[in-house]
Amino acid sequence: MFKLTFSPASPYVRKVLLSAYKAGIQDELELVEAGSENDTLLRGKNPLGKIPVLQKHDGDFLFDSRVIVDHLNKLGGGLIPENGSERDIILSRSALAEGLTDASLLVVYSERYAGDETPSKLWLDLQLGKIDKTLDFLEIDIINWSNPKGFDAANIALATALDYMSFRNVIDWKSNRPKISQWFDNVSLKLLGFAETAPK
């Protein structure tokens, strides 16, 4: 069994879980709840203290969702092409989706940890600007994201990012971006494990 640090609201953990479904090894994951004693031990393997952290069969540890997804791809395949320009495209799209998640999380954290202070408008505008520009780009480019071989790492990363924005009410991305909305609706119905891993 693998051990994976788990928080039901984390978009990074969800990306790993969906990748495990794609690789066909979801039943081999033992989820370790964030804040538990075992979670403290696992998270201690990452000096940044961030989740997810994956403990492999051989006892070694991996951290950062992108690294873990790459490892799962080697086990089950289908997430990231092995080589060539197609691999570069999937990795670049994955990075774009990851940036969307990062900016969304920074918006959430800036409000959550502001304490009695008002969150910096300059900081919020910077992150929301990144999100808006990325969504504007995707509204045009999303037609190219369909993969005849099935859902890949980029599809999973983007679907996770979009759903996280809705979950945390970061921005209303559905009302004025019909192409992204249609793409998301299709993916959310067909992507294995999407309903089971919905944030809570």
**Cα 117-122-125 angle, rounded to 5 deg:** 110
Please name the amino acid found at residue 78. Answer: G
* Cβ-based neighbours of 104, under 8 Å, separated by 6 or more: 11, 127, 131, 161, 164, 165, 168, 170, 171
> For 88-112, how does the pLDDT look when each residue is reduced to its tens digit (9 = 90+)?
999 999 999 999 999 999 999 998 8
**Rounded CA separation 13/5 (Å):** 8
**Rounded CA separation 95/188 (Å):** 20
Q: Is the peptide bond before 52 cis (omega within 30 degrees of 0)?
A: yes
User: Does pLDDT of 153 surpass 90?
Assistant: yes
Give residue 13's pLDDT band: very low, low, confident or very high (50, 70, 90).
Answer: very high
Domain coordinates in residue numbering, the chain: 2-76, 84-190
Q: Is 31 helix (H, G, I), strand (E, B) or coil?
A: strand
> For 29-74, how does the pLDDT look when each residue is reduced to its tens digit (9 = 90+)?
999 987 777 667 777 788 888 889 999 989 899 999 999 999 999 9
> For 118-138, how does the pLDDT look when each residue is reduced to its tens digit (9 = 90+)?
888 999 999 999 999 999 999
Same fold: 2-76 with 84-190: no
Q: Does domain 84-190 have CATH number 1.20.1050.10?
A: yes
Question: Which CATH homologous superfamily contains domain 2-76?
Answer: Glutaredoxin (3.40.30.10)
pLDDT for the residue 43: 73
